[in-house]
Amino acid sequence: GLNFIDLMVRQGNIDNPPKTPLVPGFECSGIVEALGDSVKGFEIGDRVMAFVNYNAWAEVVCTPVEFVYKIPDDMSFSEAAAFPMNFVTAYMMLFEVANLREGMSVLVHSAGGGVGQAVAQLCSTIPNVTVFGTASSFKHEAIKNSVTHLFDRNADYVQEVKRISTDGVDIVLDCLCGENTGKGLSLLKPLGTYILYGSSNMVTGETKSFFSFAKSWWQVEKVNPIKLYEENKVIAGFSLLNLLFKQNRGGLIKGVMDKLLNLYNTKKIKPVVDSLWALEEVKEAMQRIHDRGNIGKLILDVEKAPTPLVS
């Protein structure tokens, strides 16, 4: 699976970026080739998907058993590689952090991306949830049925949302950061939750350091705790990779994956795969994400031959 965080790693826009040489990638699917001595519940030949703390973009991947899950029989390998990061992130934010319930409203940015599409599908499993989404205008035709109200990512979405829902929304999911933080907080209803789960606006080719960006962002958007208290608003952050690999919550994530696979098996959710790319084409694949050209998930396929370049 190819995720926006991979672009941030490549540019060094994360705290403590790993030293090179480096194999990137945090999720994959494949067939079990070998097992550790104490591993139970899996056999050689099993079809599995897994989280990996780097090194996922490889022909052979090694990861602890707690991060590995069996693939349902009717799920393809490409769907399985598109499943864990996006759906676990979306599920955790909606249900574990923001406590999504019937009748609530959600604003999600990058509604055409992998997480955005997962959020839209999970919201549809709860009655009467209104989903406001922002996306590039060329994606609107393809994703218009997945959200209730769709806005151009360059439009004044704050006014558009308030025109439809005068008191705002219950949940804001922000993967953009920067000026959108203040806008998102302004749209929250009382007892609403704003969750920052990414900062894709950092990947512009201009910002070299996470801290220089954080400093400039913090000067623009100061979050006043007293104001949160007066307005009854919740501000939260979510990082699935930190939860898995730094905070040892693999058991919690396994419970979430069980629920998600049940939703998949009952045909309530289905990962959206944008396109498959050969490993040699990773530059072009990353550019497609950088340009926000994708609808759903990009997959690196080790069995795919590169597409010949037309002279």
What is the predicted pLDDT for the residue at 102? 98
Q: Which amino acid is at 274?
A: D
pLDDT score at 12 = 80
Q: How far apart are CA 214 and CA 205, in angstroms?
A: 16
Mean pLDDT of 244-250: 94
| Domains delineated in the chain | 2-81+246-298 (3.90.180.10), 86-240 (3.40.50.720)
**pLDDT over threshold 90, residue 78:** yes
Q: Is residue 39 pLDDT above 60, yes or no?
A: yes
For the cut 70, the answer to whether the pLDDT of residue 132 exceeds it is yes
CA pair distance 237, 7, nearest whole angstrom: 20
Q: What is the pLDDT of residues 100-126, one digit of tens each?
A: 999 999 999 999 999 999 999 999 999
The predicted model scores a pTM of 0.92
Confidence of residue 206 (pLDDT cuts 50, 70, 90): very low
Give Cα separations from 287 to 20, 221, 281 (angstroms). Answer: 21, 29, 10
- Point out the least confidently predicted range of 140-149, 156-165, 204-213: 204-213
Residue 309 has pLDDT above 80, yes or no: no
What mean pLDDT do residues 199-228 have? 62
Rounded Cα distance, 9 and 118, in Å:
23
Distance (Å, rounded) from C-alpha 165 to C-alpha 161? 6
Strand positions, DSSP E, 226-288: 234-237, 273-277
